[in-house]
Chain A
């Protein structure tokens, strides 16, 4: 039994297809993210689930019941808006009570329910504060409390951390995850920030140009991307352009644009002669020579010190900058050194070139 299912959802605006044949099933109580660049159709998909847009074709089911013909104010799906959309003309208590009043809860029960949900989000006793008196993180929690007090089947979150500053954002990631555990409600989270999606989610769908590229756990997306788009979008990657010259089983040889060949593994249907991209994660690269075809020669361009995530920037002979996360080597090389980079062939992922 899934809390939320979408079956072949398509949404067209005139000639433009915003969402194309998207299907997903979200199990009860999980934290599910949709990750994609802006304009990929993720917000349209979420608005269809909330009921503000209706799909051109396909079905949306909540707890097994189709909701396509249910008005947005009758759906058991609550939404935390991008800019939170707290009601500025009401105080905190009135904001949270709004949904209860609409539902027609007994007047006597409302203050008790409001107080309890405020306690659960860790802000007891703020009922009489004005929205403008709250900090960014507090507003965030009030927006969640306003939805959770109605005990929805699914909570939708539309990039709610986007407006916060970096430090608070890092903090709220952890807090959101904890809140989700505590409420045991299914969260559907939309974001263009891959680190938010990776840190918080049980499962992530990567969306591009109206389609899902891949659905999987954060580890699967990172370690086993199925397309060049996912490999480039999830986590950091160095990307080399070239042409596939030879495929032996999974192993393949790529002739780089501008000369030289490298060895990697093909993860899609690319065949010899196709234009491809080779993705190398910074931590897959090591300084120190390997055998031919799994090495790149260059000079150290600069050292980017950032504690545990320090990087070395190496300029290859063809002038491309490559990022390397090799904490051991970072202390031994210095700017201007000639170095060789090596990797294990299976960690160089080859995909058909994207038409960007």
Chain B
């Protein structure tokens, strides 16, 4: 049945309005980074890059703002470490669930998926509480000071790792599922040892999935707020630093500059991962 033209146009207009709704706040957050004004608001005062590069108050640029830069550094540091760890754990889990058989496999599989449906705030507080219980116990009974179990970067790493591993496991397991086991058998048949098969056949096959899992984990870690907020110590990552600034100082265009950097960074990374994905689908 053909849809009448005017209905189709109404439909298209609806979709268009929806996409405007999607991009409007992103454009607003980005555009005012370039407004030559002390407030991220109209009227437009002219184009400037001061909010990125100016070294002086009152328009202290992002790249001269030590606290924001430290936050950026912390975010990158946390993101890289947690992405590496969760890709390693995710690869192990993928092999465990795709290749091995063991009792209660389906129950354990559900446990593997569960971290995705636990609200991030609860993951954060539960790890905070549990780590403190251990630290208190060690302090009281053994006289040990386990400072890394107090809020700070190690706890943030653990908190993000706890749910990122689910994501990486699912991504890598989906790829491993598609692997034709006879390719491994062919390698054995040609005389390769188990380790050699893993290094020359299986891992190269998994590499694109491991790469996109890494990118996704890094991005999600970078923009995570809820879990991180509960576990953060003095070394806050960028999102928490930005939030602090927003709440304590109010909005200034430097926050728009941070938004631009965040959007550009994640946009580029997402693009890389899409390209990597494309490369492997059309060999």
**A residues 115-165 in Cβ contact with B at 8 Å:** 130, 132, 146-147, 150
- Assess the B189–A98 pair: CB atoms within 8 A: no
- Assess the B204–A50 pair: CB atoms within 8 A: no
- Assess the B183–A74 pair: CB atoms within 8 A: no
The answer to whether the Cβ of B201 comes within 8 Å of any Cβ in the partner chain is yes
**B residues 167-199 in Cβ contact with A at 8 Å:** 180, 182-183, 185-193, 196
- Assess the B180–A85 pair: CB atoms within 8 A: yes
- Assess the B283–A130 pair: CB atoms within 8 A: yes
The answer to whether the Cβ of A88 comes within 8 Å of any Cβ in the partner chain is yes
Partner of A98, one of B180, B190, B283: B190
The answer to whether the Cβ of B205 comes within 8 Å of any Cβ in the partner chain is yes
- Assess the B182–A98 pair: CB atoms within 8 A: no
Q: Which residues of the other chain, A, contact B201 by a CB distance below 8 angstroms?
A: 87, 89
The answer to whether the Cβ of A219 comes within 8 Å of any Cβ in the partner chain is no
The answer to whether the Cβ of A81 comes within 8 Å of any Cβ in the partner chain is yes
- Assess the A87–B191 pair: CB atoms within 8 A: no
The answer to whether the Cβ of A79 comes within 8 Å of any Cβ in the partner chain is yes
Instruction: Decide yes or no: A83 and B205 within 8 Å by CB, A73-B189, A102-B196, A132-B283 being known contacts.
Output: no
* Residue of B191, B193, B204 with most chain A CB atoms under a 10 A cut-off: B191
- Assess the B193–A79 pair: CB atoms within 8 A: no
Q: How far is the CA of A99 from the CA of B187 in the complex (A)?
A: 8
The answer to whether the Cβ of A327 comes within 8 Å of any Cβ in the partner chain is no
Q: Which residues of the other chain, B, contact A83 by a CB distance below 8 angstroms?
A: 180, 182
Q: How far is the CA of A81 from the CA of B183 in the complex (A)?
A: 9
Q: Which residues of the other chain, A, contact B205 by a CB distance below 8 angstroms?
A: 88-89
Majority-rule SS of B interface residues: helix
Q: How far is the CA of A52 from the CA of B186 in the complex (A)?
A: 10
Partner of A146, one of B180, B182, B190, B192: B190
The answer to whether the Cβ of A270 comes within 8 Å of any Cβ in the partner chain is no
- CB-CB contacts of A82-115 with B at 8 A, as 1s and 0s? 1101111100000000110011000000000000
Q: Which residues of the other chain, A, contact B185 by a CB distance below 8 angstroms?
A: 50, 52, 72, 79, 81, 85
Partner of B183, one of A73, A77, A85: A85
Q: How far is the CA of A81 from the CA of B186 in the complex (A)?
A: 7
The distance from the CB of A50 to the nearest CB of chain B, in whole angstroms, is 6
- Assess the A73–B186 pair: CB atoms within 8 A: no
Q: How far is the CA of A79 from the CA of B187 in the complex (A)?
A: 10
Q: How far is the CA of A216 from the CA of B58 in the complex (A)?
A: 96
- Assess the A88–B283 pair: CB atoms within 8 A: yes
How large, as a class, is the contact surface on chain B?
10 to 19
- CB-CB contacts of A313-340 with B at 8 A, as 1s and 0s? 0000000000000000000000000000
Q: How far is the CA of A150 from the CA of B190 in the complex (A)?
A: 8
Q: Which residues of the other chain, B, contact A77 by a CB distance below 8 angstroms?
A: 189
**A residues 53-78 in Cβ contact with B at 8 Å:** 72-75, 77-78
Partner of B189, one of A72, A82, A130: A72
Instruction: Decide yes or no: A102 and B191 within 8 Å by CB, A88-B283, A89-B204, A132-B283 being known contacts.
Output: yes
Q: Which residues of the other chain, B, contact A99 by a CB distance below 8 angstroms?
A: 190-191
The distance from the CB of A141 to the nearest CB of chain B, in whole angstroms, is 16
Q: How far is the CA of A130 from the CA of B283 in the complex (A)?
A: 9
- Assess the A72–B188 pair: CB atoms within 8 A: yes
Q: Which residues of the other chain, A, contact B182 by a CB distance below 8 angstroms?
A: 81-83, 85
- Assess the A98–B183 pair: CB atoms within 8 A: no
Q: How far is the CA of A130 from the CA of B192 in the complex (A)?
A: 22
Q: Which residues of the other chain, B, contact A86 by a CB distance below 8 angstroms?
A: 186
Q: Which residues of the other chain, B, contact A85 by a CB distance below 8 angstroms?
A: 180, 182-183, 185-186
Q: How far is the CA of A86 from the CA of B180 in the complex (A)?
A: 10
Q: Which residues of the other chain, A, contact B188 by a CB distance below 8 angstroms?
A: 51-52, 72-73
Q: Which residues of the other chain, A, contact B204 by a CB distance below 8 angstroms?
A: 89
Q: Which residues of the other chain, B, contact A88 by a CB distance below 8 angstroms?
A: 183, 205, 283
- Assess the A150–B283 pair: CB atoms within 8 A: no
Instruction: Decide yes or no: A87 and B183 within 8 Å by CB, A73-B191, A79-B189, A98-B192 being known contacts.
Output: yes
- CB-CB contacts of B267-283 with A at 8 A, as 1s and 0s? 00000000000000001
The distance from the CB of B5 to the nearest CB of chain A, in whole angstroms, is 44
Q: Which residues of the other chain, B, contact A75 by a CB distance below 8 angstroms?
A: 189
Q: How far is the CA of A6 from the CA of B96 in the complex (A)?
A: 35
The distance from the CB of A105 to the nearest CB of chain B, in whole angstroms, is 11
Q: Which residues of the other chain, B, contact A50 by a CB distance below 8 angstroms?
A: 185, 189
Q: Which residues of the other chain, A, contact B283 by a CB distance below 8 angstroms?
A: 88, 130, 132
CB-nearest residue of chain B to A130: B283
Instruction: Decide yes or no: A73 and B180 within 8 Å by CB, A81-B186, A89-B204 being known contacts.
Output: no
Interface contacts beyond A50-B189, A89-B204, A98-B190: sample of 15 additional A-B pairs, CB < 8 Å, sorted by A: A51-B188, A51-B189, A52-B188, A72-B185, A73-B193, A74-B191, A81-B185, A86-B186, A88-B183, A89-B201, A98-B187, A99-B190, A99-B191, A132-B283, A147-B190
Sample of 11 A–B contacts (CB below 8 Å): A50-B185, A51-B188, A73-B188, A73-B189, A74-B191, A79-B185, A79-B186, A85-B180, A85-B182, A86-B186, A87-B187
Q: Across chains A and B, which 5 residue pairs bring their CB atoms closest together, nearest first? A: A99-B190, A85-B186, A102-B191, A85-B182, A102-B192
A residues apposed to B, CB below 8 Å: 50-52, 72-75, 77-79, 81-83, 85-89, 98-99, 102-103, 130, 132, 146-147, 150
